[in-house]
Amino acid sequence: MSGRDLERGSGKGAAPANYRGGSYNQTAYYANRRRDSDSQWTSWLVPVIVAANVAVFIVTMFVNNCPRNNLGFEGGCFAKFLGRLSFQPLKENPLFGPSSETLQKMGALVWDKVVHGNQGWRLITCMWLHAGVIHLLANMLSLVFIGIRLEQQFGFVRVGAIYLISGFGGSILSSLFIQNNNISVGASGALFGLLGAMLSELITNWTIYTNKAAALFTLIFIIAINLALGILPHVDNFAHIGGFLTGFLLGFILLVRPQFGWVESRYRTADARVKSKHMGYQYVLWLIALVLLIAGFVVGLIMLFRGENGNDHCSWCHYLSCVPTSRWKCNN
């Protein structure tokens, strides 16, 4: 990809929740709930999202039309046997994809067009575009690995909301810090949102899990590795961070489970004590997350459409997306 392109890399991995078998206890109850949930919810939204991303990429390559539009400065089109769908020269785009101009035409995230061109829709469209086949495959495999399991457990409404809102949150943070002539595309802000939601779901439903520490450390390790990869050049780590934080807060709001024993307590005798549906700390986390989420979006959107640069308010934040070394620079 050219030096101005920024691909949002993929977030991979999921922390397994471990359960004990045996007698009918707290752990077994929620193990049964998980199995019931898997049979109740059929994952169809995630496959639809994957199909939509693939379809958009095919349309993008069709619009790109390398044989007609490539001027030959970087060499000839790659995979010419694909005809109109052939890729840009590898010197221009090593990910087997379209040109930067085509991505901008299709709705890539460009700060100047969003702020000064009244094209706020790019905050949404950019998450359906990919810089190349490699970029697309990495993100879609990650989505299948993470998303199907979540959709089976929580349903398409909640998982779909987390995916879309997290992608939007990632686009906002990306626009605040990645400006000038840079463009950004990719679904990994939304993918990191799913990872963030998995982490907050584990925290807010802490009492129903066994092997909690192992699950927590595994998930944190996976998230840390993927965020660390974002410091490589030409990867938009701000989209990752924004998506992760959005999904993390949404998990406290949308993925809360009833505490153990609540269902059974409703069917006991009239004089029996009925348990509260949720633990007290779950209500507290829900309220804090909701306030922070709303405040974050309001502040972020106000700063964005005022044309403010996030780097002016945080002199070190640019290191979160690229750390210069002897092998590469981060000037652009």
How many CA atoms lie within 13 Å of 79's alpha carbon, on the beta-carbon side? 16
CA angle 87, 91, 96 (to 5 degrees): 30
Catalytic residue among 130, 135, 234, 240: 240
Residue 240 designated active-site: yes
Spatial separation of the C-alpha atoms in residues 263 and 208, rounded to whole Å: 14
Distances (CA, A) of 117 to 107, 110, 122, 173, 175: 12, 10, 11, 18, 14
State the Cα angle at 158 between 246 and 54, rounded to 5°: 80
Joined together, the tokens standing for residue 288 give 């804090």
Residue 83: how many other CB atoms lie within 10 Å: 12
Residue 188 a catalytic site member: yes
Locate 242 and state its tokens. 């924004």
Residue 191 half-sphere exposure, CB side, CA atoms within 13 Å?
30
Annotated catalytic residue: which of 99, 188, 200, 321? 188
Q: How far is CA 276 from CA 101, 271, 290, in A?
A: 56, 15, 21
Active centre residues (catalytic): 188, 240
